[in-house]
Chain A
């Protein structure tokens, strides 16, 4: 329980506020979407409006915003005013981080909290990096896909640094849950942006091996399939010529000929100019047989037909793709 709320004394009975005239909300004579505020909420907001309008940037104003934010952490006007007050009275920003952490506990998915946190840590500079990484880690331990927490973490890394242990952390999250797409996204961010690593080209080979392993352990997991394509972003030629990619498709399709992700990657490979040979030929034969496609049909056409059948939710998409196949495709 929040002890502040238990022992709350109305502002009207606090001597230090006796000089302030509360300002009621101007909702007009016939309010709409009117919220049946509880008395303490209404009163706190009335005092906030008074202080906000008089632009009083004082310690008591800070205390008032604390109470207001606790009641409704989504009120961006209050947060904004709080920042003005913090600057004016030169408040201890480390204490401010504790306050934000406290509010975030109950409301981890609120834009204002994270924006405020960014503002504070920007002021604190690089020394805030480890605290911020620790803080987001704590939030992500409760919800490993919290969008705001991830965005904050990215911002911290890019702005304040702290890359050293990031890959290890990411590895651990993927070990816990290989389906965690946010962690895959973070992995891509690390590979492309970390100054500790040498960029996408330098890590590509080892990352492809890592991803192939992840896919083979769980072919229906979409995340590593998208990550794999990401490793070749902007270079379709390399995607086509790197035999690791086509072999992966082949290997997966030998186990599960209906694997949508393998089929769709193979379709793209063909469209980008991949020329199937060897084992692919027998795979083609099998697919043609199962799809009822004619023997002289193009392989890409057959794959679309199979996809239309095994992936009915996207039948329209695959049919559209089939109608747009290049003439020179296999």
Chain B
């Protein structure tokens, strides 16, 4: 019984306490067992995950009809998970996937949610990332880049933002998927980039994170999308980076995982959206620091005015000051090279979040022993959460490497070292070696 007069808990507090209870129960088991058993509990159940993933790649039950307009997404979630696990699909299946995605490609460019469906930016992103993840001449050359460019231009709105599909909704997600696809296919240009930065900037909220649309609430998914897109179009320094970092850093909770918004529940998928954003900010730490210093002691005003004049008379895509890291000579940077040059150089600081704690949440609270991953204890597994929990796990494992893709120290891995996944390119969320292959394919002599 609650003592009378004690304040009643609100709905948010009650739900939060319920989740904390379940999560802490899970962790208690870990602290009560021997180190050997601990290591077993913290193992990544690779075989089980592969079983779950490969089955889904062929046939899905009738309840999946609600995802009938998202089939390239299902391909991507599964293929990306398989690639992270350092596995491959057999050649026949690979060919069939290329064939299927080709059927989703609109004759006027872009990919729809299934054969014959209207081209849509999100499924376009999923299809392109799927084909890159498969790799190889057949998969990569199946993308019609010329038509793709035309499609992306058709989706562009005068405000700078993109629409998801013809006459569809407009938001930061659309901006990211359009920019990501264009950048990785080496077709990003000044026309596509125009005003995108201003639109995304208008979505950064007073909280520090980025919302889907101007005025909405800061949200993990949109924050990753907005930040990654800003980096890819060379406009990241328009954002208030210290405020962004502070907001994202605060999203990791006592449950060890990330929440998507302030006072919302933890969810395994934000391991990537928020953890990935923190990895991007880690790479950008010198820019964050630069802004931080300027904000100190009310120096922001001087900076702002100087900043504006520095950007006003520049050509699109050629802003010389908007370096990924200050001090690096980035004049004449080409838009399409940003994704590649982001990987170069060393990281100036260590991880900005608790990467071991996050691995604990992913392995103990999200991992399903029968294969796959889920949002939180009490929920069911699905391919979406499997993809983003594994992507988040990879982010955690490599965030202590000084160079992208370099093997991390054992101290950075929770559980056996065999848990180590493939590294990803954090701007596109494709496995690093597939990214390199695609990059040389699309930038090489045609």
Interface residues of B in 326-357 (CB under 8 A from A): 349-354, 357
- Which residue in B61, B64, B357 is a CB contact (below 8 Å) of A313? B357
Nearest residue, chain B, Cβ from A328: B297
- Which residue in B116, B166, B206, B261 is a CB contact (below 8 Å) of A230? B206
Q: Does A8 lie at the interface of the complex (its beta carbon under 8 Å from any beta carbon of B)?
A: no
Q: Does B67 lie at the interface of the complex (its beta carbon under 8 Å from any beta carbon of A)?
A: yes
Are A34 and B59 in contact (CB-based, < 8 A)?
A: yes
Q: Does A99 lie at the interface of the complex (its beta carbon under 8 Å from any beta carbon of B)?
A: no
Q: A25-B114, A36-B59, A75-B68 are in contact. Are A111 and B297 (CB under 8 A)?
A: no
Extra pairs beyond A27-B115, A34-B59 (15, CB < 8 Å): A25-B114, A37-B62, A74-B66, A77-B113, A145-B261, A185-B207, A188-B205, A222-B250, A226-B208, A271-B295, A271-B297, A272-B296, A316-B354, A326-B296, A329-B296
Are B354 and A80 in contact (CB-based, < 8 A)?
A: no
Q: A36-B60, A76-B168, A147-B216 are in contact. Are A28 and B354 (CB under 8 A)?
A: no
Contact pattern, B 39-68, Cβ under 8 Å of A = 1, otherwise 0: 000000000000000001111111011111
Q: Does B118 lie at the interface of the complex (its beta carbon under 8 Å from any beta carbon of A)?
A: yes
- Stretch from A173-181, A251-259, A276-284 at the B interface: A173-181
Q: What residues of chain A lie closer than 8 Å to B353, measured between beta carbons? A: 313-314, 316-317
Contact pattern, B 211-224, Cβ under 8 Å of A = 1, otherwise 0: 01101111100000
Query: CA A150 – CA B216 in complex, angstroms?
Result: 7
Are B112 and A221 in contact (CB-based, < 8 A)?
A: no
Are A33 and B100 in contact (CB-based, < 8 A)?
A: yes
Q: A150-B216, A320-B352 are in contact. Are A226 and B10 (CB under 8 A)?
A: no
Are A26 and B120 in contact (CB-based, < 8 A)?
A: no
Q: Does A38 lie at the interface of the complex (its beta carbon under 8 Å from any beta carbon of B)?
A: yes
- Stretch from B69-77, B149-157, B317-325, B426-434 at the A interface: B69-77
- With most chain A CB atoms within 10 A of its CB, the pick from B167, B205, B250 is B250
For the complex formed, measure the closest distance between the CB of B190 and the CB atoms of chain A, giving whole angstroms.
29
Are B164 and A76 in contact (CB-based, < 8 A)?
A: yes
Query: CA A123 – CA B61 in complex, angstroms?
Result: 39
Query: CA A253 – CA B289 in complex, angstroms?
Result: 28
Query: CA A22 – CA B62 in complex, angstroms?
Result: 21
Are A111 and B292 in contact (CB-based, < 8 A)?
A: no
- Subset of 5 A-B contacts with CB under 8 Å: A30-B92, A45-B68, A74-B66, A154-B213, A188-B205
Q: What residues of chain A lie closer than 8 Å to B108, measured between beta carbons? A: none
For the complex formed, measure the closest distance between the CB of A255 and the CB atoms of chain B, giving whole angstroms.
16
- Which residue in A36, A158, A264 is a CB contact (below 8 Å) of B62? A36
Nearest residue, chain A, Cβ from B353: A316
Q: Does B380 lie at the interface of the complex (its beta carbon under 8 Å from any beta carbon of A)?
A: no
Nearest residue, chain B, Cβ from A237: B298
Q: What residues of chain B lie closer than 8 Å to A14, measured between beta carbons? A: none
Query: CA A38 – CA B62 in complex, angstroms?
Result: 6
Nearest residue, chain A, Cβ from B93: A32
Interface residues of B in 73-95 (CB under 8 A from A): 74-75, 78, 92-93
Query: CA A181 – CA B289 in complex, angstroms?
Result: 28
Are A33 and B167 in contact (CB-based, < 8 A)?
A: no
For the complex formed, measure the closest distance between the CB of B80 and the CB atoms of chain A, giving whole angstroms.
14
Q: What residues of chain A lie closer than 8 Å to B58, measured between beta carbons? A: 32-34
For the complex formed, measure the closest distance between the CB of A37 and the CB atoms of chain B, giving whole angstroms.
6
Nearest residue, chain B, Cβ from A45: B68
Q: Does A115 lie at the interface of the complex (its beta carbon under 8 Å from any beta carbon of B)?
A: yes
Q: Does B249 lie at the interface of the complex (its beta carbon under 8 Å from any beta carbon of A)?
A: yes
Q: What residues of chain B lie closer than 8 Å to A328, measured between beta carbons? A: 297
Are A181 and B13 in contact (CB-based, < 8 A)?
A: no
Q: What residues of chain A lie closer than 8 Å to B296, measured between beta carbons? A: 271-273, 326, 329
Are A176 and B10 in contact (CB-based, < 8 A)?
A: yes
Q: Does A182 lie at the interface of the complex (its beta carbon under 8 Å from any beta carbon of B)?
A: yes
- Which residue in B57, B247, B351 is a CB contact (below 8 Å) of A33? B57
Q: Does A144 lie at the interface of the complex (its beta carbon under 8 Å from any beta carbon of B)?
A: yes
Are B217 and A28 in contact (CB-based, < 8 A)?
A: no
Q: Does B293 lie at the interface of the complex (its beta carbon under 8 Å from any beta carbon of A)?
A: yes
Q: A272-B296, A320-B285 are in contact. Are A313 and B253 (CB under 8 A)?
A: yes
Taking residues whose C-beta sits less than 8 angstroms from the other chain, chain A's interface range is: 35 or more
Q: A179-B263, A236-B300, A271-B295 are in contact. Are A316 and B352 (CB under 8 A)?
A: yes
Q: Does A246 lie at the interface of the complex (its beta carbon under 8 Å from any beta carbon of B)?
A: no
Are A28 and B262 in contact (CB-based, < 8 A)?
A: no
Are A221 and B263 in contact (CB-based, < 8 A)?
A: yes
For the complex formed, measure the closest distance between the CB of B5 and the CB atoms of chain A, giving whole angstroms.
14
For the complex formed, measure the closest distance between the CB of B173 and the CB atoms of chain A, giving whole angstroms.
9
Q: A226-B208, A313-B253 are in contact. Are A272 and B100 (CB under 8 A)?
A: no
Are B207 and A36 in contact (CB-based, < 8 A)?
A: no
Q: Does B302 lie at the interface of the complex (its beta carbon under 8 Å from any beta carbon of A)?
A: no
- The residues of A with any CB-CB pair to B shorter than 8 Å are 25-28, 30-38, 41, 45, 49, 52-53, 71-72, 74-77, 80, 83, 111, 114-115, 118, 144-145, 147, 150-151, 154-155, 158, 176-182, 184-185, 188-189, 193, 221-223, 226-227, 229-230, 233, 236-237, 240, 264, 271-273, 312-317, 320, 324, 326, 328-329
Are B212 and A147 in contact (CB-based, < 8 A)?
A: yes
Are A76 and B250 in contact (CB-based, < 8 A)?
A: no
Contact pattern, B 351-375, Cβ under 8 Å of A = 1, otherwise 0: 1111001000000000000000000
Are A227 and B252 in contact (CB-based, < 8 A)?
A: no
Are B298 and A316 in contact (CB-based, < 8 A)?
A: no
For the complex formed, measure the closest distance between the CB of B405 and the CB atoms of chain A, giving whole angstroms.
21
Query: CA A144 – CA B263 in complex, angstroms?
Result: 12
- With most chain A CB atoms within 10 A of its CB, the pick from B97, B116, B354 is B116
Q: A32-B100, A273-B297 are in contact. Are A313 and B354 (CB under 8 A)?
A: yes
Are B11 and A177 in contact (CB-based, < 8 A)?
A: yes
Q: A28-B103, A144-B11, A273-B296 are in contact. Are A189 and B69 (CB under 8 A)?
A: no
Q: What residues of chain A lie closer than 8 Å to B350, measured between beta carbons? A: 316, 320
- Which residue in A25, A33, A75, A320 is a CB contact (below 8 Å) of B74? A33
Are A28 and B13 in contact (CB-based, < 8 A)?
A: no
Nearest residue, chain A, Cβ from B212: A151
Query: CA A114 – CA B164 in complex, angstroms?
Result: 13
Are B116 and A25 in contact (CB-based, < 8 A)?
A: yes
Q: What residues of chain B lie closer than 8 Å to A177, measured between beta carbons? A: 10-12
Nearest residue, chain B, Cβ from A325: B296
Are B262 and A150 in contact (CB-based, < 8 A)?
A: no
Are B100 and A31 in contact (CB-based, < 8 A)?
A: yes
Q: What residues of chain B lie closer than 8 Å to A71, measured between beta carbons? A: 65
Q: What residues of chain B lie closer than 8 Å to A74, measured between beta carbons? A: 66-70
- Which residue in B96, B112, B262 is a CB contact (below 8 Å) of A31? B96
Q: Does B191 lie at the interface of the complex (its beta carbon under 8 Å from any beta carbon of A)?
A: no
Are B167 and A83 in contact (CB-based, < 8 A)?
A: yes
Q: Does B425 lie at the interface of the complex (its beta carbon under 8 Å from any beta carbon of A)?
A: no
Nearest residue, chain B, Cβ from A200: B206
